[in-house]
Amino acid sequence: MLDRVERALVACNRWLLIVLLLAMACIVFANVVLRYTTGDSIVWAEEVARHMMIWCTFLGAGLVLRFGGHVAIDNLHNAVGPRAARAIRAVVVAGVGLFCLVMTYFSVLYVWATRFQTTAATDVPMAWIYVAMPVGFLLMFAHLLFIARGYVADGSYVESGEMGADAAASI
């Protein structure tokens, strides 16, 4: 059951990123083409593309964590014995988890504080853009919980035929 939930979460997360990146690329491409062919550009294109990039960043952070694509310094737990290495990795997981939860809390406060501000071109409430932060941190926490056991036990991340740590880092 938990495995099915994990697969569904990863699939939804990936497809949402794919759709957002595709839409962002289409908007930017159309704006560039219009600018060079007609001399006019889409007024809202740059703003919407920027907001989509914010959402992609926060939605993609959990997937990058899952596949080991974030910057990591692993010299210490590689230099010590297996028991000490597991303890170090457990502290790292606890620290990252605590960071995600604290950032979720403070980003919710930030979203609440900006609920009356609107964007310049589209007049969308800034809270709709900034809600990417708590959603992203909660997703990262969920991905962390799914990989924590394997990471603490042997320092491994999720293996995938279509994505490794280098590919995840490029998201």
Label residue 139 exposed, middle or buried (CB < 10 Å: 0-12, 13-18, 19+). buried
State the average pLDDT for the chain: 92
Q: Give per-residue pLDDT as tens, 52-85.
A: 999 999 999 999 999 888 878 888 888 999 999 9
Q: For position 33, what pLDDT does the model report?
A: 96
Structure pTM? 0.89
State the residue for tokens 């979720």. 104
Q: For position 171, what pLDDT does the model report?
A: 58
The Cα–Cα gap between 65 and 145 comes to: 11
Q: For position 76, what pLDDT does the model report?
A: 87
- Could you say which residues of the chain have pLDDT below 70? 160-171
Q: For position 48, what pLDDT does the model report?
A: 97
